[in-house]
Amino acid sequence: MTAAPPVDAWQLQRIKRRLDALPHWLGDDRQVCLAGEPPLEDIEGQFRLAGLRCLLAALGARIGQGATATTIWLGHGQVPLAPRLLLWPAPGQVLASGIALPLPDPMHALWGLLEHHPPGTGTLHLPTLPDWRPLLPLLQRLPPWMPLPARLRRAVLSRAQRLVRAHAEVVAPRPAGSILAAILGRDFLLTPATQAYWQQW
């Protein structure tokens, strides 16, 4: 792994603006159904979902069911059958079939919305698999089958942010982890997958 050059604010803002193309894909009524949502222990996936919800709210889109709704699949489980389906898997995820949205990861919608603090110390190694339970004791106490109220979900993501901000740099095996590090103002070490993502966008 090699150190990444710092991702500056202008680059992050340019990437975020590319998400402005999303309305073109949603249809006229902007009714959206979300499918393939990440499990709670996939914290990077939870931030992707938070970014997407924030983006949809800014566009005035409604999340719900309906015959005319556009379904956005986020990469977990089986791809659903839907009359209007958009695939938005995690960056670096290989699709067996279908075409992914030609847009950067929805987590970029959070750029500028999350608190920044002076960098901490040391290096945070994110897990190879998308499971943050070893890093966040709170996750270990929550049954994976239990539906979580929004308040508790926000608490988990807040603790994840504090963990990242407590370090000076992040080792992120997956591109989503490097995006989270960048939008929280932390340097990250490049892997081939993360380098390919940042070169693409």
pLDDT digits (tens, 9 = 90+) for 50-85: 999 999 999 999 888 777 789 999 999 999 988 889
Among the ranges given (4-8, 24-28, 130-134), the one the predictor scored with the smallest mean pLDDT:
4-8
Backbone Cα Rg of the chain: 17
Token pair, residue 23, equals: 């309305």
Q: Do 141 and 193 belong together in one domain? A: yes
Same domain as 161, residue 93: no
Same domain, 21 and 81: yes
- Tell me: pLDDT of 27 over 70: yes
Task: Identify the domain boundary among 78, 109, 140.
Answer: 109
The pLDDT value given to residue 135:
96
Same domain, 67 and 121: no
Token representation of residue 53: 């919800």
Place of tokens 């919800």: 53
Q: Same domain for 69 and 168?
A: no
Q: Given this model, what pLDDT does residue 152 score?
A: 86
pLDDT of res. 4:
63
The answer to whether residues 95 and 118 belong to one domain is: no
- Please give the residue that has the higher pLDDT: either 93 or 56: 56
**Contacts for 22 with CB less than 8 Å, ≥ 6 apart:** 55, 59, 101, 103
How sure is the predictor about 96, in pLDDT bands with cuts at 50, 70 and 90?
confident
Asked if residue 172 and residue 157 are part of one domain, the reply reads yes
Q: What pLDDT score does 185 carry?
A: 92
Residues 100 and 40 in one domain: yes
- What is the chain's mean pLDDT, rounded? 90
At residue 110, the 3 state secondary structure works out as: helix
Of 109, 127, 157, which residue constitutes the final position of a domain? 109
The arithmetic mean of pLDDT across residues 152-162, rounded, is: 93
Same domain as 120, residue 75 = no
Q: Judge whether residue 12 has pLDDT over 80.
A: yes
Confidence of residue 5 (pLDDT cuts 50, 70, 90): low
Q: Specify the number of domains making up the chain.
A: 2
> Residue 42: its pLDDT value, please?
94
Whether pLDDT at 1 is above 80:
no
- Closest by CA position to 88, among listed 80, 182, 183: 80
- Rounded Cα distance between 72 and 77, Å, is 13
Structural domain including 129 reads 113-200
Q: Which of 91, 109, 127 is the last residue of a domain?
A: 109
pTM, 2 dp: 0.93
User: For the residues of 124-165, what is the DSSP string, one character each?
Assistant: EE--SSS--TTT-HHHHTS-TTSPPPHHHHHHHHHHHHHHHH
